Structure 1
Amino acid sequence: MALMKSVSLFLSSGRRASLARKQREERVEETPQTSANNARTRGRRRRQDNRNQGTGSGRMTEDNKPAGRSTTKVTHVKTSNTKLMESLRRQTHFTRLEVDALCKLYKRLVNSANTVIPVAAPVAPVAGITPVQSSGEGVDRIVFRELLHNTFDVITEEVLMDRIFCAFDKNNFGVIRLEDWIIGLSTFLRGTFEERTSFAFFVYDLNNDGYITREEMFHLLKNSLVKPPQEEDPDEGVRDLVELALRKMDCDRDGKISARDFHEAVSSEPLLMEAFGQCLPTDNSCQTFLSTLL
């Protein structure tokens, strides 16, 4: 029994030793193949890495495309701004440098309106005039009124202030946009006789019907005249002035002043251009403003 157990143990040991030897031999025999496989694996990995790098470059190129589009967009905006500046120069009496300076001033005024919003005094309603609500970015009535008072020495009634604003805001946006700002200032500061006459007529034509009527003249003159305290009926004096103005300016005698009447009267007597209230800046304020613009 002891012998059989020893044999059994020996055979078991032999089998284990043989199995271990076979495993070692298989490992030895597989080493070249494994090396080849490893080499192929490394080659595949290198090729994959190269492809990844190429794809990465492609991604970088794609990532750069938005930057390229952004640069193109900026270039387009600059080109558009250049064209706008040149167009405004051709439409106005300003140089290119003056247009550029007026654009910068406009931006400062708009920014000041966005940061400080004072309460404006209400404007008395006038028959035939529909208030316009502001829409979008631009110089609003409050900032414009302060500019007229402080820069151009235009000290006049609220109704005329509002009409001067409307003369700038040609498209009824409720705010003065950049183009209207520069074109309006061109007439305001350097306008020809024709331009300034048309500007004044537009201001006095309160309801935009193409005529300055008795009612409009009465309203404008009543607000601009100082009433003597001892006068019992101050409106009577205003009505007398209206009739005097009609005799001077109503060339076709139809009881109202047309644009043609106004132009002919002002051509004969330039002082009549602001007969119904100040609507244009003083010469000194114009010179001062233009000298400090650049």
Structure 2
Amino acid sequence: MTADIALPKDWDRSGLPGWAYFSQELFELECETLFKTHWQFVCHVNEAAEIGAYVTFDVAGERALVIRGHDGILRGFHNLCRHRGSRIVPDARGVCNKAMVCPYHGWAYNLDGGLRGIANRDTFPPMQAEKWGLKPLEMEIWNGLVFIRFQAGPQPAVAEILARFDDEIAPYDLANMVPTDSNSMDDLLAVNWKSVRDVDNEGYHVRQAHPGLHQLYGDGYFDEPYANGTSRSVGTFNEAYGHRWSVRKYREILPEADHLPLHQRRQWIYFGMFPNFVLGLYPDSVIYYQEVPQSATQT
């Protein structure tokens, strides 16, 4: 299955100039025009399944918080106390009991973001609690994946952006998957975020850099170019198992994915969404990864 994507005749293949990969001025512009206005992936719904469970996400100088309320609803907020801007929850993930309490001045917020209480309330002028709750973020849940957006942008909803993949993704039942304990956001690379994305958008490096993957699906691998903010890459397993122990063993222990169409039971499929998110579908699991820029030269 391939998409019929026509590239313009005058398509420029020359790429970006070198300075675009270390310019702090360009990086700051990218933060404003890309990372604050485009959808950013935060977590899967089952990573915040219980009441009070939260996940935080920082990018482009902004701080996000996704938390499940007492009513079972998942909501997104700026992770900023309304008093002095301290982080409401300091950790990457965790569980709040009855409320979120600012660790600096003690302002308390209900799990739905509403202001619950102010320490030393009598030292403040009269305040309407409903006006001082956490500031909400635009949030969308797509197939169990939670996305937020810090500022309104030109792109449509996530569901509309990724709609062309709906039929292919549906059999994986993403919303009901459960997280593994191997999720990590700790890998700091001394490169510009585009360096990672440029390489990952194509499978051209697989033969040389990933000989095991090349033996698994190299002969049946293809990339489609970005179209309307998304891309697709597919690796269909080679018929021969090859000589590598890891590849042979993987194929031998891989369960028969009866829930998938026959041709997808032996495929690794990747979907990309501009600017920095990739979803990988395997017969036995689903992965995601994204580049979170820290500066012009750190990701």
Shorter chain as normaliser: what TM range?
under 0.3
Return the TM-score normalized by structure 2. 0.18
When normalised by structure 1's length, the TM-score is 0.18
Which has the larger strand fraction? 2
Larger radius of gyration: 1
